[in-house]
Amino acid sequence: MPYDAVKMKEWQIAEAAEASMPTPDEWREKLGLNKDELLPYGKISKLDFLKIIERLGNKPDGKYIEVTAITPTPLGEGKTTTTMGLIEGLGKRGLNVGGVIRQPSGGPTMNVKGTAAGGGNALLIPMAEFSLGLTGDINDIMNAHNLAMVAVTSRLQHERNYDDDQLKRLSSMRRLDIDPTRVEMGWVLDFCAQSLRNIVIGLGGRMDGYLMQSKFGIAVSSELMAILSIVKDLADLRKRLDDITVAYDKKGKPITTGDLEVGGAMTAWMRNTINPTLCSTVEYQPVMVHAGPFANIAVGQSSIIADRLALKMFDYNVTESGFAADIGFEKFWNVKCRYSGLIPNVSVLVATIRALKMHGGGPKVTPGVPIPDAYEKPNTGLVEKGCANLIHHLNTIRASGINPVVCINSFHTDTKEEIEVVRRAAEAAGARVAVSEHWAKGGEGAQELVDAVIEACKQKNEFRFLYPNETKLRERVDKIAKVVYGADGVDWSPEAEAKAKAFEADPKYDEYATMMVKTHLSLTHDPTLKGVPKGWRLPIRDILTYSGAKFLCPMAGSISLMPGTGSYPAFRKVDVDVKTGKVHGLHDVD
């Protein structure tokens, strides 16, 4: 250790490291767990959340470290890589450290992005299991979600085929009078399958279902995944799984999973999903994997359950927010921390020289296409201009009262002069700055970052939310748009404004979180606008409602819940060694 990250592919590094990965018995001893608190699943194990949290509940929490990023190139900034590298770096010091990250979806893994296991020597193992289903949490969520759709579509068929007396005699059901044109939920599948975005179901005779339009989303966009990320325990999960709006009746009243009497069965499918899965870095520090919410419409974080557990088990817990600080950190700050009651000690803002060049006016970066030569050549001018985006995100973190640390995720093409430009800009904005070579050198290369994070953890926070909980929806959106995005204001479509007024007039929506829907590729709603655009307004065209998760999602632009598979998907490189059964070809860009 470390491995030669230049010559070796990620799956090769993972394969080499997995040969000495701790066994379940070794993990029990290393983590001080009781025998019944670790649940082995092949090469990996789950942690029994209810048992461990009951035993450690009175123990003081460790330090809470969040990792976010500047507005990324389409190739990402390396948040997961930095998260793994920081955990390895703290472990190199002999500190009791662990981390929490989200589970990747099969869609991006088999599409353009590849798996989200980190990179180089800052990598999560076992990589194949992590990338290809892990312990089946996403599969359980798919089954529970699709069971709700089975419940509503079969109910439509039976209510059409039988009168009220027959319904009551045959199945003790009351008529719900569901509007078949307002079945909102749709089905889910854990792949990018654009051909399933809009479908027709129920073709055939009267016993073949109800003929209607329907749709598919990717599994991690399911409201059930969002719910898993924010619940505190199994009882909280059970309650929320009765509150999901599946459809509306012909008078416009919501039809919930509770009305369909399916919430209990959905919880049965998901009962094991509350237990985080124990994985590790290639340097054998523990990392919990839990939840995988769709960051655009959901909270975009690893779970509250896993963070609660990690803060009791470790002296330092490193967690990660999806996308850049305008989306991931904002939701971490104003939603996750509000729900969990956990206050972070420090936020690490990840930046790369290549992304700063892009924000400074560099050429377009396209996934699946070789990065333009301009990003491989020194250009302090582009870096200096691009630092405006970095400073904007730093100011967002500082607005929360959380201590910021800038991590320059180092590439071999970075020059000392370019790095110095970033260091000067960040320090002038009041942030600690560290250059980290974790990709190339693992924990050893992250020591400058470790120093900065430990020092930041010693400093007292003055944590504060962007808005108090009683703030009404439109005022919340206006504040997020102006403070976090840099907009001049918000323009509401007539439909969105009418919905907002209705939500504001109904007290039950006061407890709903505001979950903004916006591109991650720009501070604005337009993914082509880089840097820190000025003189623009945020358009809100609609508001999505998630009654189980209790989210209101104002939409700035359009979003598809079912991504499409690109022209050069990652699955073309993935294969199995038929002699050993080992998977190769999995790759990562985040």
* pLDDT, tens digit, 9 for 90 and up, residues 437-455: 999 999 999 999 999 999 9
CA distance 422 to 566: 34
Is residue 113 annotated as a catalytic residue, yes or no?
yes
Predicted confidence at residue 558, as pLDDT, reads: 75
Q: Is the pLDDT of residue 585 over 90?
A: no
Measure the CA–CA gap between 8 and 445, rounded to whole angstroms: 18
pLDDT at 479 over 70: yes
Q: Residues 147, 164: one domain?
A: yes
Is residue 57 scored above 60 in pLDDT? Answer: yes
Which of 458, 485, 509 is where one domain is finished?
458
Q: How many Cβ atoms from other residues are within 10 Å of residue 574's Cβ?
A: 20
* Structural domain ending residue among the three candidates 234, 260, 286: 260
The answer to whether residues 284 and 256 belong to one domain is: no
Q: Which of 5, 117, 128, 295 is catalytic?
A: 295
Instruction: Compute the mean pLDDT over every residue in the chain, rounded to the nearest whole number.
Output: 93
Residue 75 pLDDT grade (very low, low, confident, very high; cuts 50, 70, 90): confident
Residue 181 predicted with pLDDT over 80? yes
> Is residue 295 annotated as part of the catalytic site, yes or no?
yes
| Residue 468, domain member (yes or no) | no
Average pLDDT over every residue of 128-150: 94
Q: Quick one: pLDDT at residue 21? A: 94
Of 187, 323, 332, 503, the active-site residue reads: 323
Distance of CA 140 to the CA centre of its chain: 18
Cβ 253 vs Cβ 290: under 8 Å: no
pLDDT at 460 over 70: yes
Instruction: For residues 238 and 323, state if they share a domain.
Output: no
* Same-domain check for residues 128 and 151: no
The verdict on 418 and 489 lying in the same domain is: no
| Catalytic residue (choose from 232, 411, 472, 573) | 411
Query: What domain range is 166 assigned to?
Result: 137-260
User: Which position among 63, 102, 385, 499 bears the catalytic label?
Assistant: 102
Q: What is the pLDDT of residue 589?
A: 43
pLDDT band at 590 (very low <50, low <70, confident <90, very high): very low
Q: Is residue 567 part of a domain?
A: no
Minimum mean pLDDT range among 70-74, 107-111, 312-316? 107-111
- Which of 61-70, 102-111, 300-309 bottoms out in mean pLDDT, i.e. has the lowest? 102-111
C-alpha 144/C-alpha 165 separation (Å) is 30
Q: What is the pLDDT of residue 1?
A: 62
- Is the same domain home to 245 and 375? no
My answer on whether 252 and 290 are in the same domain is: no
- 143 plus 193 within the same structural domain: yes
Assigned domain for 464 exists: no
Question: Is residue 483 located within the same domain as residue 448?
Answer: no
Catalytic residue among 46, 63, 79, 476: 79
Q: Is the pLDDT of residue 37 over 90?
A: yes
| Active-site residue, selected from the candidate residues 27, 130, 439, 503 | 439
Q: Both 116 and 161 in a single domain?
A: no
Q: What is the pLDDT of residue 131?
A: 87
Chain segment 88-118, per-residue pLDDT in tens: 999 999 999 999 999 988 888 888 777 778 9
Cα separation values, 212 from 155, 182, 215, 283, 476, Å: 13, 10, 10, 53, 37
pLDDT of 166 above 90: no
Would 428 be classed as within a structural domain?
Answer: yes
Residue 57 within a domain: yes
Q: Are strands 122-125 and 118-119 parallel, antiparallel or unpaired?
A: antiparallel
Asked if 79 is an active-site residue, the reply is: yes
* Catalytic residue status for 411: yes
Q: Which of 218, 237, 260 is the last residue of a domain?
A: 260
CA angle 263, 265, 270 (to 5 degrees): 90
Asked whether the predicted pLDDT for residue 47 surpasses 50, the reply is: yes
Q: What is the C-alpha to C-alpha distance for residues 157 and 147, in angstroms, rounded to an integer?
A: 15
What's residue 588's pLDDT?
46
Percentage of residues in the chain having pLDDT higher than 90: 78
Q: Angle 194-200-206 (CA atoms, 0-180°, nearest 5)?
A: 155
pLDDT at position 525 over 60: yes
pLDDT at 587: 66
Residue 162 confidence (pLDDT): 84
Q: Is residue 270 part of a domain?
A: no
Residue 337: which CATH number? 3.40.50.300
How many domains does one find in the chain? 3
Quote the pLDDT of residue 300. Answer: 86
Known catalytic residue at 472: no
Per annotation, catalytic residue among 68, 73, 80, 81: 81
Task: Identify which has the larger pLDDT, 280 or 7.
Answer: 280
Q: Tell me: do 158 and 183 sit in the same domain.
A: yes
Q: What is the pLDDT of residue 163?
A: 84
What is the SS3 assignment for 363? Answer: coil
For residue 94, which phi and psi values (nearest 5 degrees)?
80, 15
Told to judge if 323 belongs to the known catalytic residues of this protein, a careful annotator would answer yes
What CATH number corresponds to the domain at position 479? 3.10.410.10
The pLDDT, as a whole number, for residue 527 is: 93
Residues 127 and 151 in one domain: no
d(CA 12, CA 127): 10
| Residue at 81 is within a domain | yes
Segment 197-255, tens digit of pLDDT: 999 999 998 889 999 999 999 999 999 999 999 999 999 999 999 999 999 999 999 99
**Is 308 contained in some domain?**
yes
| pLDDT score, position 171 | 75
Please state the pTM of the whole predicted model.
Answer: 0.94
Give the mean pLDDT of 167-176.
80
